[in-house]
Amino acid sequence: MDVSSPISSVIPSLDGHVYAALSSTNGPMTLGAVHRLTEGASKSGVRTVLLRMVASGLVDLVPGGYRLNREHLAAGPIEALTSLYGELIMRIRSEVDSWQPKPLLVGLYGSAARRDGNEASDIDLLIVGDVENLGDSSMHLAHLIRRWTGNPAQVVLKSPAEIGRLRRADEPIVRSWEQDLVEISGNRSALARAS
């Protein structure tokens, strides 16, 4: 999965970026607004895609610009593709919610959290909790993430004491977790409490 633009994993052309832009709102978008959300595309290319989408009925030309036709049969699948990142987070949360014992914190960090990676990027996950009892669950989650996305998962499982040692040693990875972490389960305060 392209973590910066998940729809691009299925629709790698400019069309995917245009669909993602249009599905981000219920209101109309001007050509300029759609163009700003399609990095690297030419305005004429965006216009060509929009006009093709209007001709196919997927997009309506309305006062104020263009709007995704949510009544079209393909609108639901398009919206599902644009929300793959959220689906990944929900699946991870659902899996972690079934664990015993519960981790103190589970979160994405790195390119997956910043959403600036690509299809080759790792999905980096931090789990803070009982290392001894969460090891098998963490390895299983790494396997599931690979199956769900196609990306390798790098799961870092640390106890609160280990986080505290890393913090006292002023390890750069702790700053990365503090800056980038997208919380999925538990609470970010587990990082601070581990001092």
pTM equals 0.80
Structure confidence at residue 193 (pLDDT): 64
Same domain, 186 and 125: yes
Residues 97, 76 share a domain: no
- Which structural domain, as residue segments, surrounds residue 60? 6-81
Q: According to the model, what pLDDT value does residue 195 have?
A: 54
Give a yes or no: residue 1 inside a domain.
no
Residues 186 and 193: beta-carbon distance below 8 Å: no
Same domain, yes or no: 36 and 129: no
Q: Each residue of 78-135: pLDDT tens digit?
A: 999 888 889 999 999 999 999 999 999 999 999 999 988 888 899 999 999 999 999 9
Is residue 57 domain-shared with residue 99, that is, in the same domain? no
- Domain co-membership, 113 together with 189: yes
pLDDT under 50: residue ranges of the chain: none
Q: How far is CA 57 from the centre of its chain?
A: 29
Domain boundary among 24, 49, 81: 81
- Is 64 found in the same domain as 36? yes
Residue 172 belongs to a domain with what CATH number? Answer: 3.30.460.10
DSSP labels for 87-110?
A: HHHHHHHHHHHT-SSPPSEEEEET
Domain count along the chain: 2
Same domain as 180, residue 113:
yes
Q: 74 in a domain, yes or no?
A: yes
The predicted pLDDT at position 24 comes to 86
Among candidate residues 33, 48, 81, the one where a domain is terminated: 81
Task: Clarify whether residues 34 and 64 are in a common domain.
Answer: yes
- Residue 61's domain is classified under what CATH number? 1.10.10.10
183 and 158 together in one domain: yes
Query: In the prediction, which pLDDT does 194 show?
Result: 56
Tell the burial category of 136 from Cβ atoms under 10 Å away from its Cβ (0-12, 13-18, 19+).
exposed
Is residue 128 situated within a structural domain? yes
